[in-house]
Amino acid sequence: MSALPDETLRKILVQIQQTAVQSQRSLNLTKQQSTAKERERRIVQLTISEISSVGCDVNLYKGVGKMFVMVPQKTMEQELRAQEKELTDEISSLNKKSKYLEKQFNDAQARLKDIFHHAPGQ
**pLDDT for the residue numbered 36:** 97
Give the helix/strand (H/E) hosting 59. Answer: none
What's the CA gap between 53 and 82, in Å, rounded?
A: 19
What's the CA gap between 108 and 1, in Å, rounded?
A: 17
Helical H segments across the chain, by residue range:
6-53, 73-118
What's the CA gap between 87 and 95, in Å, rounded?
A: 12
Q: Residue range 58-82: average pLDDT? A: 92
> 23 CB contacts (<8 Å, ≥6 apart)?
101, 102, 104, 105, 108
Give the distance from CA 12 to its chain's centroid: 29
**pLDDT for the residue numbered 7:** 83
30-44 as b/e: b if 16+ CB within 10 A: bbebbeebeebbeeb
Instruction: Determine phi and psi for 17, rounding to 5 degrees.
Output: -65, -40
Residue 1 pLDDT exceeds 50: no
Q: What is the pTM of this model?
A: 0.77
14-37 residue pLDDT tens = 898 999 999 999 999 999 999 999
Is the CB of residue 60 less than 8 Å from the CB of residue 70?
Answer: yes
Residue 4 pLDDT exceeds 80: no
76-116 residue pLDDT tens = 999 999 999 999 999 999 999 999 999 999 998 898 888 77
Kindly indicate the confidence band of residue 13, based on its pLDDT and cuts at 50, 70 and 90.
confident
